[in-house]
Structures are given as C-alpha cells and as structure tokens.
Structure 1
C-alpha cells in the first residue's frame, strides 16, 4: 500500500468517535476514553487521525448506533475532512457497521477490529502471527466476512482498506472455516515446539520474573533499563506483543533471573485476544515473581491497575504468586506528588516508586526483587531408595538436581528447588 508515483506509503485519514452511552454501566470518563482511543489509532502505521470527538447518546440505536440527525451531522464533518476510515471506540454490530459504512461512504472499525489490526501489525513470532490470524478470522466471520483476505499475509496492518466486501458470504464463511482448521493445525505444531523450549528453560535453575501492566505503563523501557536489550519501547499502545526474555544477574550476590516482558493489558481487551496471547501470558503463569508496572502519573492509574488485576485473575494466576507493584513515571509528577509517592512506597515492602527513564529508584527495585527471590529456591539433600524410581524421574523432569551419586541402597541427590516443588514431590 503506497503511492506508486512517489514511493511514499499511503496515509489513511481517520476520525475517532467515542460513544458516551448514558445507559452503559461500564461507562468511563469520556475525555480520557477518547484520549486512549486516539492513542490506539496512533499505534497503527499509515493512519493520520484528522479528528476525534465524544458523541453523547441516551442509548444505542439498533440500526446505526447513532440517531439519524447525528449520523447526518457526522457525515458532513467526515466529508469536509476527507475521511476514509472511522474508528468507533466501542462495540458496533455487523448491521450497524454495514449501515454506517454505506451512509458515510467510509470504512469503519470498532474497538475490537482496531485492536486486532494493531495486533496483526505487531505480532513478530510465528505463534503470535498465527494466534492473531485466528482471532481476526473468528471476529471477521461474525462481521459477514468483511475484508478478511488481508490476513493471508504474514504481517497485517490496515487490512480494512479494500477487500472482497460481502459477495458470496457462504462461500467466504466456508473458506474462513477451512483456514481456521489449517491455522489450528499449524499452531498445534508451533505450540509443541514452544512447549519443548519452555521445558528446556525450566531446567535452568533461574527464577522467572514477569513484567506485567497496562499498555504504555513503561514495561519495555524498564525491561531495557534492566537488561540493556533494545526491545521496542515507544510511547505507543501495544508496542510489545511477543514475550521477550533475557537473563539478568541481580547485584550484591543476588540470584540470576530470567526477566520476561509481556504484552500490555487494556480495558475491554477482546476476549479472543486474551486467549490468542496465551503465548505471551504463559510466561506470567510460569513466573516465580510478577512485577506489576503502573504509570503512576496517569489520571486513571487506579482503574488501570484494577483492569490488570482482573485479567491476571482471569488467566488463573495463583494468589500465592509473589508480586511487586512498581509505580513508574514518577519523573512526570510534580515535586509534591513525587515526594508523596516515594514516601508512600517506602512504607510498603511490596511497592517501589521509580522512573525507568531517569533511573531513579531502580536500585530499590533490584533490591526488592532480590529480597523476594532469596530463599525462594533452597538446597536439600535427598536419599531415595531404588524403589522410588518415579520420584527420581520427576526430579529429573523438573530440572532441579544439582548433584547425584549412587549409594548401596539407592541414590543421594542434591536438589535446588522451591517450596512449591518440594510440596509436589512429597505429594507424589
């Protein structure tokens, strides 16, 4: 997609609408919701946001979402601004989408469609690409298969421009179903390979520390600061979509750890995508310590933190998993609020206030991680008789054996394990 004459990539002019529906019990602050929607749009390359507005509604209209007067008023504004794409920050039914596209003469994406496009553009690993394609195909199937063929490409992005429209809907549905079956087969192979990698990594006796947080909270900047890695760390929603892992040696004799940077969470994340990103989120489930990074300067930091906790609970993160909360971006607070945040964090062992950009508070975070993990793995010497072959095989499979020697009665094993592994062993 580009201008053949100049070689410049084509820019799609977009308009963002946030419907503020009075009857919606999950209603958010409309101005902040609109800001986030504009940031979402900015995360998609080739888009120029020409305008954005909140549209107040007593309730959604079934046929067009907005009332006829508002539809006509918006049509004039869109035509005057030469808009090609309208992004609606909320759910839009297939019927509403079709009617509005016809009325306004533009392409239209709802919040789920936009997030899918971003994920499609960002996914980097084979598994990520396959997962996004599956999620997008399932979503497009409910949209009367609008413009789905772009997903045959390895990398997505702006697939909403052009496409087959709604002709031969049943044939297209069958084609989508066949493609989903094919993708599931490919994914099963990829997941199997990944499972082998994960088992190999489990044998490395390093604790896993997973960074989680609302999108744009600064996780990738923090990850880069801690590891020296060059993970994309832009001021952009969903900058990271695939798990990135690095070994880090904690200072002052602390343990070596594997640090994992994960996809940012967001409110109303499409359920298809929470499922789709098991690849990334698996690292969180396997983590010995979760570091929840918050943008403490954001006006909705509390609501964002609650969204993250809710998604962690949905994923099945166990309550006894160790957690540290990081209040990031304190450099963006005024001096009074910064001092208050630092003092408040200092009184709570589970909170660290820092700036991943300036480096203030980074030592406190490393100390906190080290303290949480020290004693997490401990050494034990076990004497197993020959008859306990199953238990010995389990210890080998867990990768916790440091040393092993055969005795007259069986085996003497030196193991380095966690309390959880010790409990599982004794329950065998």
Structure 2
C-alpha cells in the first residue's frame, strides 16, 4: 500500500481505471449489464478503502478482484445477506487473488476503445449513449450524471438500464470494428464526447451557464480516445477544439454568474496553458491529411484565442475557415456562425441577408441563437428598436437562465 490519498485523488484514479477494469470483466464474463453494476459497487468500496488506507500497489488488479467478487455475489440468490456478511472481505481482497490478477496478461487493459464503441452502439439513442459512456467509461455515478443533466436520478437510472438492456438484446460485444465500420463507430464516439462537452460548456437549461464537471470529463475521455487512436486526425482536432474552447471558461461569467460574451471577455483570464496545448495540437494535425470539421472548428477557435483583443481578430481568416467548414457538410448552425463572420468582414447588412435564408429553415427558425444573432447584427447596424425586440424574442426562446438574463439585459440597454 502507498500512503493515503485525498478523496479527490482517489476518485480521479478510479475513473481512470474504470474502463480498463470493466473491459476485463466483460471479456471474462460477457454480461455487460452485470459487470458494469459490479464495477460500480467495487468503486464505492475502493473510494472508502483507498482514502483511508492508501492506494494499493496494483490498483487495477485490486479493483478487478473486488469487482469479480461483486459479480459472483450478484449471481447468488441471497444477494442482500451476502453483501452484508462479506463487506469486510470485499474491502480487503485476498493477496493471492490480487497477485494472480496482477500477473495476468495485460492485453485486456487496451480494450478501452472497444468499450467506448460498445457504449456508443448504433442501436442506442444519443441521450443513452451519453449516459452510458459517462457511467461505464467515465466512472460517474448515476446521481452525478442526473445532476449534470438536471433530471431526476430515477429517470437517469431508467435510461442507463434501458441502454444496457438494448445492448444485451442486440448482441453487442466488446470488439473493435474494422474498416469502414470502425471509422463510422469512431465518428459516433467523437460525436458523443462533443455533445458532452457542449452541454458542459453551455448548459442547455438551468440557472448555471456551465457544468464544469461535464466539460472536464469530456476532455478527459477525449484525451483517452486520442491516446487510443493517435493516428486519427479528427480525434486530435476534437481534443484541440475542446482545449481551446474550455480555455475561455474562466472569463465567460461575471462575479454573479452572468454571461460575458466573447468580445467583452477579459482575455487575461483565459487559460494560456490550454491555449498553447490546443494550438500546438491543431498546428501539428492540420498538415497531416484530409481536414475534417473538428479540425476546422479548432482552427477557428485558435484564431479567436490568439487574437490579443476582439478588435484584433482576423475575421477574414475565420470567414475562410467557415466557408471550408460548410463544404464538409451543410449545417444551419455553421451557416449561422458564418453569417457573423460575413458581417464582420463585409458589414452587418451582408450578415443579415444570410440570416434571412436561415429563417426559412424549420430546424432553426425559432431558435434563440438565430434570434440573438439577428439582434446583434441589427445592433451593429444601429437599428436599436428592432434589435431590442429581437433580443427580447430570443430571451423568450432560450431555456438557459444566464442566457435569458443576458439577452433581456441587452434589450433593456437599447431601450
């Protein structure tokens, strides 16, 4: 045993071990649902034991041994009685079992990628993929995931349970696909991590602008994915995008939690370490081959982050990058952002003309971001009355408390 560690250090280590241990359990026993439950129980035991007595020398083997015992216990009819009787035994695994696990071949520890693919199974809904990934690979408890997404714990528990049952029913296995199927599944994993990060960086509802725990977890899992597929340039681009975006988080809110728009942020509060890492990563990745949407978004974010001030931003370069991004796959949100770049390069009238076409798109017609962007461009044009009305309309359509207050305040200032 090592010296005792504080609970936060223990939690970080457990979450790093979780996907590797779960992958080994599933390889050994095949039942994803029961293995995942057993691991969660083992992590609860470890969180208490390691914080008190120190982290064992072979922490993954320790966790695997306890989780295996938990799995076996689940198969017995007297589960409740066995858990009470064996509580102390579970807290201290037999040294022989630990040694045996420690000596076992470590090929299973490389199954984290297969586990990510399994959690992002095509048969699952996007919401289920996110929940299962955070639970099985991220090591978060159901309560933590529910709190992050502002839903009751019972609702999230049902979502995770249904996801595991779906995987079981479809015969999902712990295997890394090959060829085109691998590329498609990898894209799904990236998309799940992207959605987790976006929810953490700008919460879709509630009174807080951000959910830092989700953004941090998305970055941690994307780092893991990047280590597993270092040759994949889009994964590298996604990681760079997250780092460059999250670098601004300290300046995104004021002293009372109010939203501070990019142009008004105190850039000295941005995290220079994350910016440097993100810029280095995307600069190293872009010349390697075909450029995808995550790489282009990271490049756009890098241009913003490297500008010394809002006035010094190279909007012409940003516009060019948005035009390239739009060619990778038409998307109304990309067009919306390109409209802002068009306005900054060619004037607000040109940006508003582009927005007029988006108003016909049912996916975006009443979205608060379209309304807020229109308000901003009208304000730049000097049309205060219509800008204020657009800000008020945008405020009515957002579910985010901080965004609603920000938009309402912008309208009030314009009179």
The structure with the greater share of residues assigned to strand is 1
The structure with the greater share of residues assigned to helix is 2
Q: What is the TM-score with the length of structure 2 in the denominator?
A: 0.29
Q: Which is greater in Rg?
A: 1
Q: What is the TM-score with the length of structure 1 in the denominator?
A: 0.28
